[in-house]
Amino acid sequence: MIDTPRLKVWIDQDLCTGDGICTDHAPEVFRILEDGIAYCLDGSRVFNDPGGSAELATVPMNLEADVIAAAAECPGECIFIEVDEHAVALAETVGATA
């Protein structure tokens, strides 16, 4: 199986309540900034330009379950996860030939 990240995530800051549940689940992917609102991290880059899905952070495979849990428990329902269909298809293809 290939270790290609399959999920991307973004936060709608207009919906964020700043509870920090996301940072409890996945501090490597989410950060609360000075304004008290959550933003996504992609490595060391903080996507701090509100505006929706224009800035999608890649979710490391080992953190996918944590990010999904954060989205499920978010009281503001502001965490949006997108599946990278190409990465999923690639992983399935490689897995089938291994």
Report DSSP state, residue 51: S
Range of the domain at 14: 7-97
pLDDT in tens, 30-76: 999 999 999 999 988 998 776 567 788 999 999 999 999 999 999 99
Instruction: For residue 2, tell me if it sits in a domain.
Output: no
In the structure, what pLDDT confidence band is assigned to residue 85 with cuts at 50, 70 and 90? Answer: confident
Total number of domains constituting the chain = 1
Single pTM value for the model: 0.82
Are 79 and 4 in contact by the 8 Å Cβ rule? The answer is no
pLDDT for the residue numbered 96? 58
CATH number of the domain where residue 14 is located: 3.30.70.20
Residue 1, in any domain of the structure: no
- CB crowding 1-39: b at 16 or more within 10 Å, else e: eeeebbbbbbbebeebebeebbbebbeebbbbeeeebbb
Q: What is the pLDDT of residues 22-42, one digit of tens each?
A: 999 999 999 999 999 999 999
In a domain, 40, yes or no: yes
Residue 51 forms part of a structural domain: yes
